[in-house]
Each structure stands twice: as structure tokens, then as C-alpha cells.
Amino acid sequence: MRDFFWAPFLSLFSLNFYRRLQGRSLGSGFLYLGYLSLVVSLWSVLMFRSFSLPVVNDLVRWLGANLPEMTLTREGVRMALREPLLLSHPQWGPLLFFDPTSDVPKPEHLEKAFLVVARRKLVFRNPATAQQQIQDLTPAAGVQRWQDLLITGERVTLFWERIKPFALFLFFVAAGVGTYLWKLLAGLLYSLVALLLNCFRKERLPYGTLLNVTFFALTPMTLLQLASLQFPESGLPANLLIALLVTTFYLILGILGTQKKTGPTT
């Protein structure tokens, strides 16, 4: 149990730890992936609460104070505006542009903000890729029941306050499940490298043991990936090539570095 609890630390340097893994069942590897995913999920929620959540709260407060009243109807958006309106955040610049005079955003308005809203369509411009996505604001033809939806800054604020606890929980679950599936797939792929390394052992290990060792050998790269996300300005490498090199090194450590040494015979 102590080995299991301290595995994220011991997997970084301990040959004895990897040697003891060869006597463990494959189930311990799958269980460890769950433990590792839980650690990543808890870290992700902590970072979200510390860094992302204050940003979202600030954005919602700004929307609550500045968002014009709108009603989403079957014919599109009805705005309480007579002229186009640009909403510019004091820190992030122009974010929203509303045009109550057009059904479709005009080409000359698409560069004014990241989100351009007309009566029947909106256009979102991805700030990272500059790609534009168009969304229809009218319901599909097959929709029979429809109820107009009033959107105000106050309603947006109240809605966020209600869903905030659920958002944290869903973020926790999504981070845990996503990490588990990601590392499970990575473990299956890297087990092919483990099979190749196993050919150089004098005493071959069964595939179940190799997969078990592989699951634990994913830890160092996982910690490096977390560190690169935590400190993006540090320039820590966490690309696929580095992942292949780091994980292969620890597979060599766990598979070849733990085989029994035989002395010369006389």
C-alpha cells in the first residue's frame, strides 16, 4: 500500500520500486491509473479555482453590468437596441458586437469583436486560430414547441451563480475520466515499446507485467506535462517526441534495469 501511495514519487528514480512491480497483478496497474487520474483531476480543479474561475467571475460581472436586453424568438434575436453596439472589456478589449439592424453579420463587422450577433445569426472568431464559426439563432423547422427566452445581464449572473458548483464538479469528473482514458490509450501504445525492450531481457516478462510496468512508467511524463501547464513561461518541453523519449527511458529502467545480473561462471 505504501508503494502504491508513493508511486508518483518512487516511479521517478527507484529501481527497487520497478523491480517490485514485476510481482504485482495487472489490476494494480489499472487501479494506479485511476489514482493518477484522481491526482491530476484534483490538481486541475485547484488550478481552475485559483486561476480560471476568477477570470470567469470577472467576465460574468462585466456582462451583468453591460449586456443589453435581448429576447430569443422563433424569428431570431430581438434586441433592445436601435443602433449597433460594441462592448469592449477594459482588460481584453472588444469582445461583443450587436447589430439589431441586420439579419446576418455584415462582413465589415466581423473584425470588430470576437462574437458578432445579428438578428438571425452570430459569428464567433476563435482568438487562437482566427477561424470563424457561424451559428443560426433561429430554431430548426421541425421544432413545434417554442417559448421566447429573455436574456439580460442580471439573468446571466444568476444563471452562472447557480451552475458554478456543478461546473466545478463536472470539471473534476471530466478531468479525471479524460486523463484515465488518455493514459490508458497511451499505456497500450507504449506497451508495444515495452514488448520490444522485453526482447533484450534474458528472462522475458509476460505481457501483463509489461503493461503493468508501462502504466507506472507514464508517471514522469504526466508530471512534466502538469509542470509545463502550471509554468508555461518556463518553456518545459512536453511534446510527443519528449513524451516518447521520457517514457521509453523509464521503460528501459523498469524492464531492462531490473533484470537479475549474472556473474561470470568458473
Task: Give the domain ranges of the chain.
Answer: 2-51+166-255, 68-138
- Written as one letter, the residue type at 96 is L
Residue 11: count other Cβ atoms within 10 Å of its Cβ: 26
181 CB-near residues (< 8 Å, 6+ apart): none
Q: What is the residue whose three cell numbers read 500500500?
A: 1
State the average pLDDT over residues 129-146: 81
Indicate whether 232 pLDDT > 80.
no
pLDDT given at position 266: 38
Indicate whether 264 pLDDT > 90.
no
State the average pLDDT over residues 217-245: 88
Residue 1: count other Cβ atoms within 10 Å of its Cβ: 5
The CA-to-CA distance between both ends of the chain, in Å, stands at 42
- Written as one letter, the residue type at 115 is L
Of 181, 184, 258, the C-alpha closest to 18 is 258
pLDDT given at position 216: 95
The rounded distance, in Å, linking the Cα atoms of 153 and 64 is 4
The rounded distance, in Å, linking the Cα atoms of 20 and 210 is 13
Identify whether the C-beta of residue 209 lies closer than 8 Å to the C-beta of residue 238: no
Indicate whether 6 pLDDT > 50.
yes
User: Model's pTM, two decimal places?
Assistant: 0.74
pLDDT tens across 14-52, in order? 999 999 888 888 889 999 999 999 999 999 999 888 888
> What band does 156 get if pLDDT is binned at 50, 70 and 90?
very high
Q: What is the residue whose three cell numbers read 436601435?
A: 82
Query: How much is the mean pLDDT over the chain?
Result: 89
